[in-house]
Amino acid sequence: MQAVGGECVFASEKDPFARATYECNFKKHSPSIFPDNFNDDITKVDPSSIPDFDLLCAGFPCQPFSQAGHKRGFLDTKGSGRGSLFFDIARIIKEKRPRAYFLENVRGIINHDDGKTFRTIRRVLEEELGYSFYMNVAKASDHGLPQLRPRAFIIGFRDEGLFRTFSPPPKSPLRLTMSDVWEGECSREVGFTLRVGGRGSGLHDRRNWDCYLVDGEKRILMPPQGKRMQGFPDSFEMPVSNTQAMKQLGNSVAVDAVQAYAVQLISYMNELSSTRRAS
């Protein structure tokens, strides 16, 4: 988001190892959020204490919304033990009323819990919060990166009215292949989707995602290769163990895919503002 002109005013991350990586890389770019606006538990944040902002970006765990799925408002889930972090996102949107939101999740969220989860998310964002709702499954390989990594991108706008013409960005060719990632001749042009856990299955195991044939030899994916597959520059620092670094990379968004959507999203936000001024 910063690469396309954004300025971060608040961030939240609970995992101490991910916090270390975040601060190591972003403190120099966004010093104003440290320490007071670098939160460690979003469930305990008073939304009114968050600085005003235009765009909320978030990912959240995919969990059953058992109570909310029975036509209960999202505020009813607070303290019930049955909600998820999505409802903390909803609390913040309700209080701060940003111009837009950009949410990311695994593709499986669409059919999770027989579709109840996705229907609840949409109902809360559209009916309870009054935002528009767009969903698209984006593949990292459609935006320049050498892994499939399909992810559900959910985007919406506050004052869209009847305009409603937002569309996903066009696809782009690969800007690097797995041979570029490995700096050697790799047997695959597009790699396996980075995951969390399940390492070491072996080259010919159907569950394999981290073993590659490079220059005729078996190679195991490590953080330098994982960073390139996710679109991070080689200069991106990960001051944690290789195990923690691979976990973070497996949990990360694909940078190029997010940036492509961010450009489209910001352009559309500006278009909406121009339309409102003209009317």
Determine the Cα–Cα distance for residues 186 and 208; give it in Å rounded to an integer.
15
Contact 158, 130 (CB under 8 A): yes
Q: Catalytic: 62?
A: yes
Q: Catalytic: which of 8, 24, 57, 62?
A: 62
Burial of 178 (0-12, 13-18, 19+ CB in 10 A): buried
Please state at what angle helix 16-26 crosses helix 242-251, rounded to 10 degrees: 80
Catalytic residues: 62
